[in-house]
Amino acid sequence: MYSQESGAGKTTTIFAALSVAGHPKEQMIRKKDTDNFVYNRLGTVQSMVCGMDETTAMTPEQKYNQAYDVTDGKGKNRLRGSDNMERVNKITWSTSLLTSSNQPLDQAVSSVSGNADGVLSRMLCVEAKHNFSMSMTEADAHFSPLLHNYGHAITPYMQYVLGNLQEVIGIANEIRGKLENRANMTTKERYWGGVLSRWLAGGLVASKLGLHDIPVKPVFQFVVNSIENQRKRNRTFVIDMKDVLTTFLYKNIDKMVIANGNNDKRTGLEQMALQVPRGRSLAIRFEPDTRRLYVSVPAFKEQLTQDKLSLEEALEPHRKNKSLIDTKVHRLGSGTQYSQLPPTRCYVFDVTKIPDFDIEAIKSATDNQSSSNDSLEGV
């Protein structure tokens, strides 16, 4: 759960979930707790829900790794301190981790990888919105009993589940089928289907036992809406492979040379560059007369590695539309003061076959941005 403002009910909502089985505050994982503690707690509660308050200060990398670790369902493997023998790892779980933050979790983890589709399908982000229909006094009166009225529901609930296990499993599977059908879920969204259908089944069983009087159908629709909303959000965070090259160009616009590729017809000499890079390295060369774009292979690979993207998948759209012509050694600095630098291996693209490639926009982006440096660190 996330909300920029405090008082929206993020922590209280997690308290409500934790209060089913015990004291909510004592069960809450805090931001100062270590990773090993978190995984040990998950292994201790097994299939009961866990809660972690205030993850805003965690780095995107920590959140990214935690999303994978929690959904992996097993603690870290370790060696014994005395020798190089593996410790027996019995820390496993089959549960969910509820977290609160000022920033959406999906926004944070997507900054770690250009293609975070896998990790995004392991989480569901819900915005906590202020309920202005309830005064502070009313809210305190309604929610403050959570801290001294807890743990009463778990015993009758689990007695029924254990005594009617096959029936409960059947209910959960039936709800999963309805949820997957209503939300048009795909195989990559299996985590959503598995977890949310179990939550809904638990709520339905608890309602039949008289443990709460919350209508189940509106909750089911809220879950469907949340899935559809998360799916839309994920599309904005995942890079389309067709856009990887364009993204690379704009990230490295200060490393681009714009120069005609053909020699001057009058003198037979290479033509001076129309635009030289304003940075200290070369990565791209665009030749307006030949409509050829040369992209440094080492630079392109380095960028994809940083963005955690696949090189083959990034090139595949350009192979299909035949805009990727060849891979050849080319002198990126021809026509500039760096023309004596050795050539480098480049991907060669025909820009006339790259959809929506805006030549004027590329030229405009580098206009009046001449280099302020007389040397390059490298090619």
In tens, the pLDDT along 76-132 reads 998 887 778 898 999 999 999 999 999 999 999 999 987 888 899 999 999 998 877
User: What tokens were used for 53?
Assistant: 């308050």
Q: Is the pLDDT score of 241 beyond 70?
A: yes
The one-letter code for the residue type at 270 is E
Residue 367's pLDDT is 56
What's the pLDDT score for residue 379? Answer: 40
* pLDDT for the residue 361: 65
pLDDT number for residue 40: 94
Lowest average pLDDT, out of 3-7, 133-137, 175-179, 288-292, goes to: 133-137
Measured torsion, CA atoms of residues 47, 52, 224, 123, in degrees rounded to the nearest 10: -90
Residue % of the chain over a pLDDT of 70:
94
Query: How would residue 175 be classed by pLDDT, with cut points 50, 70 and 90?
Result: very high
* pLDDT of 365 over the 70 cut: no
Long-range contacts formed by 363-367: CB under 8 A, 24+ apart = 363/258, 363/274, 363/275, 363/288, 365/250, 365/253, 366/253, 366/256, 366/258, 366/275, 366/278, 367/275
pLDDT, position 116? 87
pLDDT band at 377 (very low <50, low <70, confident <90, very high): very low
Task: Please give the mean pLDDT across all residues of the chain.
Answer: 89
137 falls in which pLDDT band (50, 70, 90)? confident
**In this structure, what token pair is assigned to residue 377?**
């660190």
Mean pLDDT in residue range 259-281: 81
Domain layout of the chain by residue ranges: 1-150, 153-238, 241-366
Quote the longest CA-to-CA distance of the chain. Answer: 94
CATH topology for the 1-150 domain: Rossmann fold (3.40.50)
Confidence of residue 279 (pLDDT cuts 50, 70, 90): low
Of 176, 160, 150, 163, the residue nearest 210 (C-alpha): 160
